[in-house]
């Protein structure tokens, strides 16, 4: 009980000091605008409360002194006091924004993993297939999944009854899509990929983020029982089309299109879902922006950098890869191992896992002439050694077989090194916690 009264008196003394500080501010800023009577009363009430503080008056007397001073301040404070709730809220959010921007610029920056180039160390956006012939998570479960994993539901509903078809690229087997302007979180402008299914000739579309790369797997799992089933039907259909082309004749216009049309389902019913899945958000990290001002980056660290000065990329974005080469290092890939200065690279557990192809790690792969980049795979080709230039770094993805990294766009200027990942703060999966 005595502790309670002591704490109350301590709080009252702190309040009294705050009121005196405000009174001093009003007097200094507004004394030339106040009448002599108001100035005298403001100084008198301030002096009385200050004397009570020095005399260590009890909480009750201090409260009376505060109330007397507050009455004067309400009459004389102008814009300084009393403040409206709107002004106080605006000031709070402005100060908060300045603090957040300062922390983000100089200390810790949030970063979202967009792709799976660093999988399985860090996850980009992934898909969880929810087959239409099985019960989907209930609405309350969907809400929990959204909060815990950032899961966003996508459902394609048949607009008519009948056969479901879609077009796939003749060379890659990927389902055809259009890039359109859309929205992230229904608010932020962004480009999206739009996929189209035809149900008895009527279109049913679905959009996904531009960086989402698992749509083809969802389609294969839903309609073909997996990638092998899809590949079998795709190759058979493509071969049959090639035979018809060789025979000549008019044939069907589809036989001469760059896309192959496949039948996905024979008997869809109007109003029923034909495809359903959740997009799970990529790992979201806090990145340390301070360390690289004092210590040099180390081989094996997760490595965040800007891309605006990398000729093979061009766009100014933030990327995350793993740092594999410092200035002067000689690098070479002898699949599945990455060599640094003539020996298998060390410095991160992922190096060993890739070299030994411990599942799900698949090893390092030489660059391929695949036309995916401006440099067309001119770094770390089979049998090629690469020396990292001065004032530069080399960065590769842990998921080498699915990573457009330094093998395709070259070296990272040291001035564009941002920092290393600290923690995965979202989503709340087994990867939550300190970054690797």
> In a 3-state reduction of DSSP, which class is residue 34?
coil
Mean pLDDT of 45-49: 89
Which segments of the chain belong to CATH 2.10.109.10?
Answer: 284-434
User: In whole angstroms, what is the distance from residue 219 CA to residue 129 CA?
Assistant: 9
Maximum pairwise Cα distance, the chain: 109
pLDDT-above-70 percentage for the chain: 87
What pLDDT does residue 121 have? 92
Choose between 326 and 318: higher pLDDT: 326
Tens of pLDDT along 249-287? 555 656 567 889 999 999 999 999 999 999 999 999 999
User: In whole angstroms, what is the distance from residue 210 CA to residue 193 CA?
Assistant: 5
Could you tell me which of 370, 373, 383, 378 has the C-alpha nearest to residue 333?
383
Residue 226 has pLDDT above 50, yes or no: yes
Choose between 109 and 80: higher pLDDT: 109
Angle (deg, nearest 10), helices 59-76 and 36-54: 160
Across 314-348, b (16+ Cβ under 10 Å) vs e yields eeeeebbbbbbbbeebebbbeebbbbbeeeebeeb
Residue 10 has pLDDT above 70, yes or no: yes
Long-range contacts of 190-195 (CB under 8 A, 24+ apart): 195/166
Could you tell me which of 37, 38, 45 has the C-alpha nearest to residue 62?
45
Q: For residue 416, report the phi and psi dihedrals to the nearest 5 degrees.
A: -100, 5
**Binning pLDDT at 50, 70 and 90, where does residue 248 land?**
low
Residue 397 has pLDDT above 90, yes or no: yes
Query: CATH class for domain 8-82?
Result: mainly alpha
Query: Strand 337-340 relative to strand 330-334: parallel, antiparallel, unpaired?
Result: antiparallel
C-alpha dihedral, 87 to 89 to 93 to 96, nearest 10°: 110
Choose between 317 and 194: higher pLDDT: 194
User: In whole angstroms, what is the distance from residue 410 CA to residue 402 CA?
Assistant: 16
> In a 3-state reduction of DSSP, which class is residue 6?
helix
**Binning pLDDT at 50, 70 and 90, where does residue 3 land?**
very low
What pLDDT does residue 34 have? 86
For the chain, give the mean pLDDT.
Answer: 87
Architecture of the domain defined by 284-434:
Ribbon (2.10)
User: In whole angstroms, what is the distance from residue 130 CA to residue 397 CA?
Assistant: 29
Residue 156 has pLDDT above 90, yes or no: yes
C-alpha dihedral, 166 to 167 to 173 to 179, nearest 10°: -100
Q: For tokens 């440099």, name the residue.
A: 375
H-helix or E-strand containing 231?
helix 227-247
Q: For residue 122, report the phi and psi dihedrals to the nearest 5 degrees.
A: -125, 145
Residue 377 has pLDDT above 80, yes or no: no
What pLDDT does residue 251 have? 55
Q: For tokens 């216009």, name the residue.
A: 253
Query: What contacts 46, CB < 8 A, 6 or more positions away?
Result: 20, 23, 24, 27, 69
**Binning pLDDT at 50, 70 and 90, where does residue 321 land?**
very high
What pLDDT does residue 391 have? 95
Which segments of the chain belong to CATH 1.20.1270?
Answer: 8-82
Could you tell me which of 164, 165, 136 has the C-alpha nearest to residue 151?
136
Q: For residue 79, report the phi and psi dihedrals to the nearest 5 degrees.
A: -75, -15
What pLDDT does residue 103 have? 62
DSSP 48-116: HHHHHHHTT--HHHHHHHHHHHHHHHHHH-TTSSSPPHHHHHHHHHHHHHHHHHHHHHHTEEEEE--SS
For 151, counting Cβ atoms within 10 Å of its Cβ (0-12 exposed, 13-18 middle, 19+ buried), the class is: buried
Tens of pLDDT along 90-143? 666 776 666 666 666 667 888 888 788 999 999 999 999 999 988 888 999 999
Cα 78 versus chain centre, distance: 46
Q: Running DSSP on this structure, what letter comes out for residue 255?
A: G
Do residues 305 and 417 make contact, with C-beta atoms less than 8 angstroms apart? yes
- Cis omega (within 30 of 0) on the bond before 120? yes
């Amino acid at each position: 009980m005595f502790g309670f009264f002591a704490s109350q008196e301590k709080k009252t003394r702190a309040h009294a000091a705050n009121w005196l500080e405000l009174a001093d501010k009003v007097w200094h800023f507004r004394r030339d605008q106040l009448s002599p009577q108001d100035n005298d009363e403001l100084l008198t009430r301030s002096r009385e409360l200050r004397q009570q503080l020095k005399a260590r008056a009890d909480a009750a007397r201090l409260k009376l002194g505060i109330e007397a001073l507050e009455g004067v301040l309400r009459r004389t404070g102008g814009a300084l006091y009393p403040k409206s709730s709107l002004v106080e809220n605006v000031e709070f959010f402005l100060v908060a924004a300045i603090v957040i921007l300062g922390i983000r610029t100089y200390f810790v920056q949030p970063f979202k993993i967009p792709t799976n180039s660093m999988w399985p160390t860090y996850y980009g956006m992934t898909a969880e297939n929810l087959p239409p012939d099985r019960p989907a998570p209930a609405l309350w479960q969907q809400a929990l999944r959204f909060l815990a994993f950032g899961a966003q539901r996508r459902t394609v509903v048949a607009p008519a009854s009948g056969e479901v078809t879609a077009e796939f690229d003749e060379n890659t087997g990927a389902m055809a899509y259009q890039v359109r302007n859309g929205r992230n979180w229904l608010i932020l402008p962004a480009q999206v990929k739009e996929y189209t299914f035809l149900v008895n000739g009527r279109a049913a579309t679905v959009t996904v983020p531009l960086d989402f790369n698992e749509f083809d797997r969802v389609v294969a799992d839903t309609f073909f029982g997996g990638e092998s089933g899809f590949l079998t039907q795709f190759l058979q259909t493509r071969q049959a089309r090639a035979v018809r082309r060789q025979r000549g004749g008019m044939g069907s216009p589809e036989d001469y299109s760059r896309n192959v049309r496949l039948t996905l389902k024979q008997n869809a019913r109007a109003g029923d879902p034909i495809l359903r899945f959740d997009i799970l958000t990529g790992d979201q990290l806090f990145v340390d922006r301070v360390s690289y001002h004092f210590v040099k980056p180390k081989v094996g660290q997760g490595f965040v950098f800007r891309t605006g000065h990398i000729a093979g990329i061009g766009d100014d974005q933030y990327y995350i890869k793993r740092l594999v080469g410092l200035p002067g290092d000689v690098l070479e890939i002898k699949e599945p191992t990455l060599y640094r200065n003539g020996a298998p690279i060390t410095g991160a557990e992922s190096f060993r896992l890739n070299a030994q192809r411990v599942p799900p790690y698949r090893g390092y792969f030489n660059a391929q002439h695949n036309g995916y980049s401006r440099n067309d795979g001119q770094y770390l080709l089979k049998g090629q050694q690469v020396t990292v230039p001065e004032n530069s770094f080399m960065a590769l993805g842990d998921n080498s077989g699915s990573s457009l990294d330094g093998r395709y766009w070259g070296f990272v200027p040291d001035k564009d090194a941002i920092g290393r990942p600290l923690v995965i703060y979202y989503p709340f999966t087994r990867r939550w916690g300190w970054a690797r």
